[in-house]
Amino acid sequence: MSNQLNAPLGVGEKLKLAIQKSGRLSEDSIKLLKDCGIDLRNVKDRLKTEADNFPLEIFFLRDDDIPQYVEDAVADIGFVGENVLYEKNKKAEVVEQLGFGKCRLSIGVKRSDDYTDASFLNGKKIATSYPVLLQKFLNENNVTAEIHEISGSVEIAPGIGLADAVCDLVSSGSTLFMNGLKETETILQSQAVLIENKNLSEAKQQLLNKLLFRIQSVKKAKKNKYVLLNAPNDRLEQIISLLPGMKSPTVLPLATEGWSSVHSVISESDFWDIIEQLKANGAQGILVVPIEKMIL
């Protein structure tokens, strides 16, 4: 990858990226580009803009249209939810999970229903904006049900007698709850992904590798914290053994005799465990700092 990163780029080539114009993915998509050091010109009420400091052109679209634009090579790449990508079933390759827009596509039934398994749905009417993914789930479970496709406010369908159940996106679950429904099965776990057209030119592939390198550094940084602490020298060995660091922790002597300052990187997932163990081993003055970029 490093060779590709250093290779000269096609003169005047720009990578065309499609992102959601206005909706749940818009803000995070623009923030991710910003975290990657890419400044966009005026993003308000525009269909298209360019980055100031990266050969990138950005199209603002409805999320449903993004897979088609990427398949047709009108856009080279796109940021879109897996739910939309798999429902549209277009020829575009998933390159990277982006870590935002997380939700799940689930079956919801009335709270009073006695749901045991998918066979409950036999002969029922299910409202959804995801007929393709729902039909696939029904087939896999040998269920025959009527799919009622609607484009919005799916969750009100059972309450107004339009359907017996729903298949809709859920994140906190409060929309289902407020509509007297309960979540029973998850059909798909989803998050925003970077997709690419399958036939990118060599020059565009190089640009994508550059962008991807930045995205991965930003993602890694978010998953890790920088930790600084003071350690008594007689406990240094135990404390160091708790801190992997990128290679190994940095240890510097403190002005106070018998103490050292230890710097390291720890992962968000074992963060509290490690902090507790550090304290138990005599570490003091523990500072935890967010990391902006992380390049290994």
Examine residue 186 and tell whether it contacts ligand PRT (CB under 6 A).
no
The nearest distance, CB 243 to ligand PRT, in angstroms, is 35
**From 175, 184, 224, 264, residue interacting with ligand PRT (rule: CB under 6 A):** 175
User: Are the C-beta atoms of residues 106 and 170 closer than 8 Å to each other?
Assistant: yes
Q: In the Cβ-directed half-sphere of 68, how many Cα atoms lie within 13 Å?
A: 7
The nearest distance, CB 182 to ligand PRT, in angstroms, is 12
Examine residue 128 and tell whether it contacts ligand PRT (CB under 6 A).
no
Q: What is the largest CA-CA distance in the chain?
A: 78
Examine residue 263 and tell whether it contacts ligand PRT (CB under 6 A).
no
The residue type at 73:
A
The piece of 16-24, 41-49, 237-245, 255-263 that touches ligand PRT (CB under 6 A) is: 16-24
CA distances from 105 to 112, 137, 169, 171, 284 (A): 21, 11, 4, 9, 46
H helical segments located in the chain: 2-6, 26-35, 66-71, 82-88, 131-140, 174-178, 202-222, 236-242, 271-280
Secondary structure element (H or E) that encloses residue 287, with its range: strand 284-290
**From 17, 19, 25, 105, residue interacting with ligand PRT (rule: CB under 6 A):** 25
Examine residue 159 and tell whether it contacts ligand PRT (CB under 6 A).
no
Examine residue 170 and tell whether it contacts ligand PRT (CB under 6 A).
yes
**From 20, 184, 206, 224, residue interacting with ligand PRT (rule: CB under 6 A):** 20
Distance, in Å, from the CA atom of 271 to the CA atom of 288, rounded to the nearest integer, reads 10
User: Mask: binding to ligand PRT, 51-90, rule CB under 6 A, as x and -?
Assistant: -----------xxx----------------x-xx------
Number of Cβ atoms within 10 Å of the Cβ of 275: 18
Q: Which residues bind Zn ion (CB under 5 A)?
A: 63-64
Q: Which residues bind ligand PRT (CB under 6 A)?
A: 20, 23-25, 62-64, 81, 83-84, 101, 103, 155, 168-175, 190
